[in-house]
Chains A and B, each alone.
Chain A
């Protein structure tokens, strides 16, 4: 921690090595597979290095950087919502064809459609929903990382669930998957 506070490059490198994947996972859960993810990872670590002095408890480092990741993602979502940006495509010479994952197309399409549905959610509800269901995170952990009360998390999840079920029922791909779901099949 002292090395981090002193701005030493080796300590910062170690922090990136240790928590890079974790930050990436959180951002992807919230945003989906998005071309902006690498830049957001950079932004999270830049903020972390700037604010490291504010971290008083070293054992809370992981949760602390996770919170920064979520707040960064939230700011990005709000910004994107206000100005839907057009992003250029990658050039084919620089991005070789990625093999299809092997999963059936309906899974990939369902994943895409899920994030299309989530685009319509308020950022806070989207984050709670993504952490709970896409990541499988517990309610208390979500509350800690988003720095709100457990009751607030529950309220956000309740609203988000209602939104999702309602929107998914209008989507043929998601509706079919819901029909196959044991819990949703009869709803």
Chain B
């Protein structure tokens, strides 16, 4: 049921975090601190003695502890401050900036969240990973320090902005129900409201979500300054504004789950690939249909067709996916990944396991160094078993176990060979 590939990217990200955190070195440093603080048992002394060469680093850590204690950041003390002084913040309390003055919130990890004049907000929760801030109204400018495992969230009206480490301004106009998010560094993920899926916003981009119109604008900084100087530019805060038909390239105007299907105001030629890249598969397919799916299959390159075929498959349109994968096969050397995609359609959508086995075998034959060989081998094994070709399945099972003894289909292979 679980797809191990789902975790591959998470594992790589976690390994990057491990490298940055240097936990083993920290263990040595803390071991050295403990060794200096109290008498130890013989065996613990042995464990900590190995870090004795790191006295300088230990001294730095002790200095950190002193600073930490000086600020009163013990388990029972508050961990953020309101204003530039030492006024302790209180989790859950309503915080309002004066009408003519900005009010900073300072967190002990170095993160700063500045409430613009007249803004009100709350720090709803706070833990070792970060804080959950609720912006009631107004605008905040945040500079969030990234640490391994850190996670900050800002609730803005009906939206949630998930933050890893970045700098951004976000505002919520409760009257017109418009979210505006301007990112200067890093990236964030926005969800909630009328957004069906989370939307990634990157450095240099500005996101505007018009709740009443069910419309989203995502502009990069160059386009934004151009748009702001243009008399026909879409307004940042007028929800009824319709983007011009000839939007600058890269400007995305996305239909939402609750909005009507994208009409002629959306420049489909500019957006179906962007939409697919953003995981908006149904919208991407709709955009390609508006342009003429057959024409797109003739016009697009092999790699573009793979994107289109994946979007069609993931939005449940097996016929369109087959059409695009088939077109891609004719444009890619040896058929490329398209052959594997046709196998997935046969297997997952059609339940035609014999045909699926044929496609996976073709992929393995035509792509001797293909990146999906392990997956294709496993799928071939399953397809043969499900189509009743047990002798061939056993033969494939032997090869599979030899090549991928820990692969996801290893258990099935072993079962077939018993």
Chain A residues at the B interface, C-beta cutoff of 8 Å: 7-9, 12-13, 16, 20-21, 24-25, 27-29, 32-35, 37-39, 41-42, 45-46, 49-50, 85-95, 97-112, 114, 133-139, 161-162, 164-165, 172-173, 176-187
In contact, A50 and B23 (Cβ under 8 angstroms): no
Question: Which residues of chain A are within 8 angstroms of B14 by Cβ–Cβ distance?
Answer: 28-29, 32-33, 111, 134
Question: Which residues of chain A are within 8 angstroms of B186 by Cβ–Cβ distance?
Answer: 100, 105
In contact, B189 and A186 (Cβ under 8 angstroms): no
| Chain B: interface size category | 35 or more
Complex: A33 Cα to B22 Cα, angstroms: 11
Q: How far is the CB of B279 from chain A (nearest CB, A)?
A: 6
Q: How far is the CB of A55 from chain B (nearest CB, A)?
A: 14
Complex: A38 Cα to B23 Cα, angstroms: 5
Among B47, B48, B344, the one with the most A-chain Cβ atoms within 10 Å of its Cβ is B47
Question: Which residues of chain B are within 8 angstroms of A100 by Cβ–Cβ distance?
Answer: 146, 164-166, 186-187
Complex: A85 Cα to B46 Cα, angstroms: 29
Question: Which residues of chain B are within 8 angstroms of A99 by Cβ–Cβ distance?
Answer: 20, 146
Q: List the one stretch of B69-77, B230-238, B283-291 in contact with chain A.
A: B69-77
Q: How far is the CB of B280 from chain A (nearest CB, A)?
A: 10
Q: List the one stretch of B104-112, B211-219, B299-307, B323-331 in contact with chain A.
A: B104-112
Q: List 10 A-B contacts (CB under 8 A).
A: A8-B46, A33-B18, A41-B24, A42-B31, A92-B108, A136-B7, A138-B410, A173-B162, A184-B3, A185-B313
Pick the contact of B67 from A7, A16, A39, A91 — CB < 8 Å? A91
Q: How far is the CB of B43 from chain A (nearest CB, A)?
A: 4
Question: Which residues of chain A are within 8 angstroms of B349 by Cβ–Cβ distance?
Answer: 186
Question: Which residues of chain A are within 8 angstroms of B189 by Cβ–Cβ distance?
Answer: 105-106, 109, 173
Q: How far is the CB of B14 from chain A (nearest CB, A)?
A: 6
Not counting A49-B47, A92-B145, A104-B187, a sample of 5 additional A-B residue pairs whose C-beta atoms are within 8 angstroms of each other reads A42-B30, A94-B60, A98-B145, A109-B162, A110-B10
Question: Which residues of chain A are within 8 angstroms of B77 by Cβ–Cβ distance?
Answer: 88
Complex: A93 Cα to B349 Cα, angstroms: 56
Chain B, Cβ-Cβ closest to A37: B23
B46-76 vs A, Cβ < 8 Å mask (1 yes, 0 no) = 1111100000000011011001100101111
In contact, B79 and A89 (Cβ under 8 angstroms): yes
Among A33, A176, A181, the one with the most B-chain Cβ atoms within 10 Å of its Cβ is A33
Question: Which residues of chain A are within 8 angstroms of B44 by Cβ–Cβ distance?
Answer: 46, 49
Given known A42-B47, A172-B198, contact A94–B30 (CB-CB < 8 A): no
B127-149 vs A, Cβ < 8 Å mask (1 yes, 0 no) = 11100000000000000011111
Q: How far is the CB of B250 from chain A (nearest CB, A)?
A: 17
In contact, B128 and A35 (Cβ under 8 angstroms): yes
Complex: A90 Cα to B146 Cα, angstroms: 12
Given known A87-B128, A134-B7, contact A12–B47 (CB-CB < 8 A): yes
Question: Which residues of chain A are within 8 angstroms of B191 by Cβ–Cβ distance?
Answer: 172-173
In contact, B198 and A87 (Cβ under 8 angstroms): no
In contact, A109 and B151 (Cβ under 8 angstroms): yes
Q: Is B294 an interface residue (CB 8 A)?
A: no
Given known A88-B74, A89-B107, contact A107–B13 (CB-CB < 8 A): yes
In contact, A33 and B73 (Cβ under 8 angstroms): no
Complex: A20 Cα to B26 Cα, angstroms: 11
Closest 9 CB pairs of A and B: A92-B110, A33-B149, A94-B64, A183-B3, A89-B108, A38-B26, A105-B187, A41-B27, A87-B128
Q: Is B5 an interface residue (CB 8 A)?
A: yes
Complex: A184 Cα to B162 Cα, angstroms: 24
Complex: A13 Cα to B20 Cα, angstroms: 23
In contact, B24 and A101 (Cβ under 8 angstroms): no
In contact, A176 and B75 (Cβ under 8 angstroms): no
In contact, B109 and A112 (Cβ under 8 angstroms): no
Q: How far is the CB of B213 from chain A (nearest CB, A)?
A: 21
In contact, A94 and B13 (Cβ under 8 angstroms): no
Chain B, Cβ-Cβ closest to A129: B2
Question: Which residues of chain A are within 8 angstroms of B63 by Cβ–Cβ distance?
Answer: 94
Q: Is B84 an interface residue (CB 8 A)?
A: no
In contact, A86 and B75 (Cβ under 8 angstroms): yes
Question: Which residues of chain A are within 8 angstroms of B24 by Cβ–Cβ distance?
Answer: 20-21, 24, 38, 41
Question: Which residues of chain B are within 8 angstroms of A139 by Cβ–Cβ distance?
Answer: 411
Given known A94-B67, A107-B10, A177-B6, contact A49–B43 (CB-CB < 8 A): yes
Question: Which residues of chain B are within 8 angstroms of A29 by Cβ–Cβ distance?
Answer: 14
In contact, B344 and A182 (Cβ under 8 angstroms): yes
Question: Which residues of chain A are within 8 angstroms of B4 by Cβ–Cβ distance?
Answer: 133, 136
Q: How far is the CB of A72 from chain B (nearest CB, A)?
A: 12
Pick the contact of B7 from A41, A105, A133 — CB < 8 Å? A133
B85-111 vs A, Cβ < 8 Å mask (1 yes, 0 no) = 000000000000000000000011110
Pick the contact of B11 from A35, A97, A102, A134 — CB < 8 Å? A134
Question: Which residues of chain B are within 8 angstroms of A133 by Cβ–Cβ distance?
Answer: 2, 4, 6-7
